[in-house]
């Protein structure tokens, strides 16, 4: 085993383990909140699905990548190869969808646009969040069925004219034009979601800027301002979206390069896989410090009756 393979194996193992633990911690927190009779907020429903999809991304891709980096070759049969790539693609699409929904939901929540109020969207959206999340699962499961027709393991490699490596599996199409058309077609929803997130983030930045000006005015009036829950949530979602867009942009550039040249690159392939898993692994640790329920649990464990004023 080469030294760089061992390094990547350790990195994938740590990334998968830490990321899964973080996402499972969030899922357990929401489960405890629900089971103790507390009602989950609409935004919590989105975060539950986001944590679940991120966990699937890490488990379904992180474990095979770790095994591959540690020297195991051809350990998947054709069906297992197709199934893993299919589930990974579904979970990745869901992670993007729920991150986009999170930013749009926050914009509608804090927005003062009259249209949102007149259309009833501001009142209807929170009531239908769970339905929308379930619909997203069904849609992503159906949209990515094409993976079963275009993925195979190395032992069943054919003479198709367009092949791109995915580490432990191969993707193929019958020609360069069809491959390009396939990539463009299934990239359109991703680009739309990312574009939507960028626009929503722009509005959230303007909201925070206006809020900062108000806070400065309050400071000048000798009052001590308290950060509202909406502002804290907006900060968190902005960091979350920025993290996704940053890692996804770099990974997309590398993926296009790998697809274009049809070769297995010793460093680029595992690096691309690592970057693709960074957001699912990091996102719970962006959310956890900003969740007041964790602070409540911490202070109740210490035997304190209430939180400090700055965190309430």
Residue 15's pLDDT is what? 95
pLDDT 10s digits, 205-231: 887 777 666 666 555 555 555 566 677
- Strands, E, within 88-236: which ranges? 151-152, 162-165, 170-173
Q: What is the pLDDT of residues 110-139, one digit of tens each?
A: 876 666 565 667 777 778 898 999 999 999
Identify which of 70, 83, 11 has the alpha carbon closest to the alpha carbon of residue 281.
11
Residue 184 vs residue 144, higher pLDDT: 144
> 3-286 in CATH: which number?
1.20.1070.10
Q: pLDDT at position 117, please?
A: 61
More confident of the two residues 58 and 289: 58
Q: What does the pLDDT average to over 181-187?
A: 69
pLDDT at 309 over 50: no
Between CA 296 and CA 209 the distance in angstroms is 29
- pLDDT tens by residue, 24-79: 999 998 888 888 877 788 888 999 999 999 999 999 989 988 888 887 777 777 77
Contact 258, 162 (CB under 8 A): no
Give me the pLDDT at residue 260, please: 67
State the pLDDT at residue 207: 78
Instruction: Please tell me which residue, 292 or 287, carries the higher pLDDT value.
Output: 287
Predicted pLDDT of residue 8: 86
pLDDT attached to residue 17: 96
More confident residue, 179 or 210: 210
- Contact, 239 vs 282, CB < 8 A? no
Using CA atoms, how far apart are residues 280 and 144, in angstroms rounded to an integer?
20
Confidence band of 10 (pLDDT split at 50, 70, 90)? very high
């Amino acid at each position: 085993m080469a030294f760089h393979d061992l390094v990547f194996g350790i990195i994938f193992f740590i990334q998968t383990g830490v990321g899964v633990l973080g996402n499972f911690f969030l899922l357990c927190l929401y489960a405890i909140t629900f089971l103790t009779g507390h009602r989950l907020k609409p935004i919590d429903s989105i975060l539950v699905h986001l944590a679940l999809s991120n966990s699937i991304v890490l488990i379904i891709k992180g474990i095979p990548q770790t095994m591959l980096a540690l020297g195991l070759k051809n350990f998947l049969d054709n069906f297992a190869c197709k199934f893993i790539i299919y589930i990974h693609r579904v979970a990745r699409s869901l992670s993007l969808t729920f991150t986009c929904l999170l930013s749009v939901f926050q914009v509608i929540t804090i927005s003062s646009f009259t249209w949102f109020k007149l259309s009833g969207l501001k009142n209807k959206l929170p009531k239908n969040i769970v339905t929308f999340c379930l619909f997203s699962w069904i849609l992503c499961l159906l949209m990515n069925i094409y993976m079963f027709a275009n993925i195979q393991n190395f032992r069943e490699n054919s003479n198709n004219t367009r092949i791109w490596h995915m580490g432990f599996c191969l993707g193929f199409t019958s020609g360069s034009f069809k491959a390009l058309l396939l990539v463009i077609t299934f990239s359109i929803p991703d680009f739309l979601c990312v574009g939507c997130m960028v626009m929503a983030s722009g509005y959230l930045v303007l909201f925070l800027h206006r809020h900062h000006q108000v806070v400065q005015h309050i400071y000048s009036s000798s009052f001590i301002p308290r950060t509202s829950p909406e502002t804290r949530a907006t900060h968190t979602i902005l960091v979350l979206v920025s993290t996704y867009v940053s890692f996804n942009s770099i990974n997309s550039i590398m993926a296009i390069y790998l697809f274009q040249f049809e070769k297995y690159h010793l460093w680029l392939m595992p690096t691309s896989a690592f970057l693709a898993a960074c957001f699912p692994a990091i996102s719970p640790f962006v959310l956890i410090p900003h969740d007041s329920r964790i602070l409540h649990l911490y202070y109740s464990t210490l035997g304190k009756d209430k939180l400090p004023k700055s965190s309430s």
